[in-house]
Chain A
Amino acid sequence: MSQLQKLVIGRMFLGILTLFVVSALMFVGIELLPGDLAQQILGQSATESTLAAFRAELGLDQPPHIRYLDWLGGVLHGDFGTSLASGREVSDLLGIRLANTMFLAAYAAVIAVPVAVVLGLLAALWRNTLFDRGVNLTALSAISMPEFFVGYVLILFLSIKAGVFPTLARIDSATSLWDALYRTFLPALTLILVVVAHMMRMTRAAIINVLASPYIEMARLKGVPQWRIIVSHALPNALAPIVNVVALNLAYLIVGVVVVEVVFSYPGLGQLLVDAVSSRDFPVVQAVGLFFAAVYITLNVLADIISIVSNPRLRHGR
């Protein structure tokens, strides 16, 4: 096995391991609650017999490691247990919402990534020009705004005042794709604004870093035109840092979804998570949290693997 393969497989293994550790920690955390879960849910006034019955229902009479393995086994088969609040299967709750969240995130990502990378590239190229300063100041302001502020401002102007887009992003299985794109435009735009700002700043920094390398100066002194320096000398070396920036921001986007969904009453995982946290519906919190963690970890692992693979020192051994 080559060094490259070893590194890649090692990284993937580490990602899976992290996910297990996170799930186990979550489990242990609930385990460490004062009293136990049944007491937490039923309150101090519950009688001993109702508690016992409820414990048996939750499987709390089993030792913790058995319950963890049970739960883990269930998760691997797509069974996340039962919601304490609604009594429904967690997997049922997740189904359509998961698709909705992924749809919104993908919608924002498809627009945000190219825009941010191009803006970052241009700002780096035209460093210290008016364009660069303008873009930077705008980005800095956008970063500083809470997502809900951006969301409400968009609602106020584009929906209430101008009446172009709907206030709430209600979609269901009957909504056509075109209609869905229209109705979710405001939440998507909110995410795009915030994510583009972050991603553009990081892309700019990554490219400026590469442009400062001696081999870029060497290329200039060989008479290579500016556009060719960017395309042929800077980009191949900036690829890994840019991929990292993109992955990091996609992960950020996944998180931003939570707040944005609440602002626009969008039926996605974020809403579900927030409601579950308020009502302390642990099986749901566990399932949704694990899903977000899995996406986040996967993106980071992917970014690492791409930068490993694109590194000439690793791709072509000594």
Chain B
Amino acid sequence: MGTLLKSAPPSAIFGLVVLVAVALTGIFAPLIAPYGETEVVGGAYQPWSAAHLLGTDNLGRDMLSRMIFGARNTVGLALLTTALAFSFGAMLGMLAALKGGWLDEVMSRMVDVLMAVPALILALMLLAIVGPSIPNMIGVIAVIYVAPVYRLARAAAMNVVDLDFVEAARLRGERTPWLLWREILPNIWSTLIAEFGVRFCFVFLFIAALSFLGIGIQPPTADWGAMVKENATLISFGDITPLIPAAAIALLTVAINLIVDWMLHRASGLKS
């Protein structure tokens, strides 16, 4: 691990530092935050001061505290959603590659339909039907992102299932679970991990966008996307405060992308 970090370029180190900082902030939010998540502490739109480092928002809540809780909510939900999409997508994708035939055909066509509609539009349509709420949003986004993960896992597994060691395992009568977990998964693991990073970024931006549009995480829960929307008025007065949550989103996404880029680069370098 130590040597691994030493070989990391500055961009990746930067990414790791940001990632760890955000994670710690999220985990220890109640300890770090000076005020409560939804606590009204003064008048609306107060400027930056010693008591309120980033001022207050449209309802007079402390911006900094909401930023800190936002790290927990926005990132945590994105992580949960991505994990859900990944577990199902990877499982089904590997299964489709291994089994082939009608199972593969049926699942792949369903995924084709899911992917034939732009993700944001599909999410909006589905959320209109089920109504906006946090569990609904997680469910809808997870379902939508199962599709690309399925495709990737299937394609990666396709390269493995035809290899001789899988055939050798079949010839000695191994069953599906063994083939999936012991033969295929270890060989597509690195691909999936890199993809997890990329997908997390998409999901994270996606949730932020939905919240910004007022259809994602609902008030009064602190969320970076929604905070931009709630305080957007300030921008027309030349105040950058509403941009801080947006910048936080951008920073975290850049950080993860830099890490993923480095990992992919390393993986391709190791191969050649």
Contacts and interface: CB of A to CB of B under 8 A. Distances in A.
Interface of A: 18-19, 21-22, 25-26, 29-30, 33, 137, 140-141, 143-149, 152-153, 155-156, 160-161, 167, 251-252, 254-255, 258-259, 262, 273-274, 276-278, 280, 282, 285-286, 289, 292-293, 296-297, 300
B128 A277 contact: yes
Secondary structure at chain B's binding surface: helix, strand, loop or mixed?
A: helix
Contacts of A285: 124-125, 128
A156 B243 contact: yes
A177 to B, nearest CB: 27
Contact of B212 (A146, A252, A289): A146
A205 B270 CA distance: 19
8 contacts: A21-B113, A144-B205, A153-B243, A160-B235, A252-B118, A259-B213, A278-B215, A297-B116
B1 interface: no
B126 A29 contact: yes
B238 interface: yes
Contacts of A156: 235, 238, 240, 243
A146 B205 contact: yes
B253 interface: yes
B158 to A, nearest CB: 19
B146 interface: no
B213 A149 contact: no
A254 B121 CA distance: 10
A26 B114 CA distance: 12
Interface in B189-221: 201, 205, 208-209, 212-215
Contact of A149 (B11, B122, B236, B243): B243
B253 A145 contact: yes
Given A252-B118, A255-B121, A292-B118, 17 more contacts: A18-B113, A30-B129, A140-B261, A141-B254, A143-B257, A145-B254, A152-B228, A152-B246, A153-B243, A156-B235, A160-B237, A255-B119, A274-B213, A274-B214, A277-B125, A289-B122, A296-B118
A258 B127 CA distance: 15
A144 B225 contact: no
Interface of B: 11, 112-113, 116-122, 124-129, 131-132, 201, 205, 208-209, 212-215, 225, 228-229, 232, 235-238, 240, 242-243, 246-247, 249-250, 253-254, 256-258, 261
Contact of A251 (B118, B238, B246): B118
Nearest to A145: B250
Contact of A254 (B118, B215, B247): B118
B115 to A, nearest CB: 9
B242 A152 contact: yes
A146 B209 contact: yes
Contacts, number: 136
Contact of A277 (B208, B215, B236): B215
A143 B201 CA distance: 10
B149 to A, nearest CB: 18
Q: Which of A140, A148, A252, A255 has most B Cβ within 10 Å?
A: A148
B246 A293 contact: no
Contacts of A19: 116
A18 B119 contact: no
Contact of B128 (A18, A155, A276, A300): A276
Contacts of A29: 125-126, 129
A18 B212 contact: no
A148 B214 contact: no
A75 to B, nearest CB: 15
A91 B66 CA distance: 42
B258 A140 contact: yes
A22 B118 CA distance: 11
A262 B213 contact: yes
A143 B215 CA distance: 22
Q: Which of B120, B201, B228, B242 has most A Cβ within 10 Å?
A: B120
Contact of A144 (B120, B201, B236, B240): B201
A149 B249 contact: yes
A94 B253 CA distance: 35
B117 A296 contact: yes
A3 B237 CA distance: 63
Given A144-B257, A149-B246, A280 B212 contact: no
A146 B232 contact: no
Contacts of A18: 112-113, 116
Q: Please provide the 4 A-B residue pairs with the shortest distance between their CB atoms, ordered closest to farther.
A: A144-B253, A149-B246, A144-B254, A145-B250
A214 to B, nearest CB: 16
A36 to B, nearest CB: 12
Given A29-B129, A273-B121, A140 B254 contact: yes
A167 B118 contact: no
